[in-house]
Amino acid sequence: MELLEKRILNDGIVKEGNILKVDSFLNHQIDIGLMNEIGKELKRLFADKHVTKILTIEASGIAIASIAAQYFNVPVVFAKKAKSQNLDGELYTSDVKSFTYGKQYTITVSKKFITEDDKLLIIDDFLAVGNAMKGLIDVANQAGASVEGIAIMIEKGFQEGGKYLRDNGFNLQSLAIVDSMDNGQIIFRKQ
């Protein structure tokens, strides 16, 4: 998606350790106009899918999932990263090793909100090694829901998450794929 690639080139900051900071428009401050353009693009990409629910994970995925959900006219469910005393009852859980935070956590989704009748579009902001996404797919599988598509804002093409998902037959659409960030220069994969 050209609009997103341009924004990444203009406002993204490459940091040591292959970190791409997009906190000025995507995951700390959020440009809602851009999110709407992304929402429209996701509807175009998944127009032939009968999505019943959008699944994402707190926190950065919630904004784009919520805006995009308007174009699909479906609810959003976000997986939680910590058990709270407010989230009881029957839960789907999956363990995720975080690349960004360098530690393990458990994601939880209430069984009430994903069922075998659901056709899910899973949305997240970043895809790198893919551990969070594997956790979300695991939750979908536990529920018996189908994964109609996976939408990622920024895929780090030099890490293995995207290849894993494509090799396993998922309909993965990454709006921008960064193939390298060597010396701070961002190279996008042609799509």
Q: Which residues bind a second copy (CB under 8 A)?
A: 15, 17, 19, 21, 23-25, 28-33, 35-36, 58-59, 62-63, 65-67, 69-70, 73-78, 80, 82, 84-88, 100-102, 109-110, 112-113
Angle at 14 between CA 155 and CA 5, to 5 degrees: 50
Residue located via tokens 């979300």: 136
- Output 80 or 134, the one with its CB closest to a second copy: 80
- Report in angstroms how near the CB of residue 166 gets to a second copy at its nearest: 26
- Report in angstroms how near the CB of residue 76 gets to a second copy at its nearest: 4
Q: 115: how many CB neighbours lie within 10 A of its CB?
A: 12
Cα–Cα distance measured from residue 5 to residue 1, given in angstroms and rounded to the nearest whole number: 6
- Output 87 or 163, the one with its CB closest to a second copy: 87
- Output 115 or 168, the one with its CB closest to a second copy: 115
- Output 69 or 178, the one with its CB closest to a second copy: 69
Cα–Cα distance measured from residue 104 to residue 96, given in angstroms and rounded to the nearest whole number: 6
Beta bridge partners of 105: 96
- Report in angstroms how near the CB of residue 37 gets to a second copy at its nearest: 12
- Report in angstroms how near the CB of residue 185 gets to a second copy at its nearest: 20
- Report in angstroms how near the CB of residue 24 gets to a second copy at its nearest: 7
Q: Which residues of 9-23 are buried (b: 16+ CB within 10 A; e: fewer)?
A: eeebebeeeeebebe
- Output 15 or 44, the one with its CB closest to a second copy: 15
Cα–Cα distance measured from residue 143 to residue 148, given in angstroms and rounded to the nearest whole number: 14
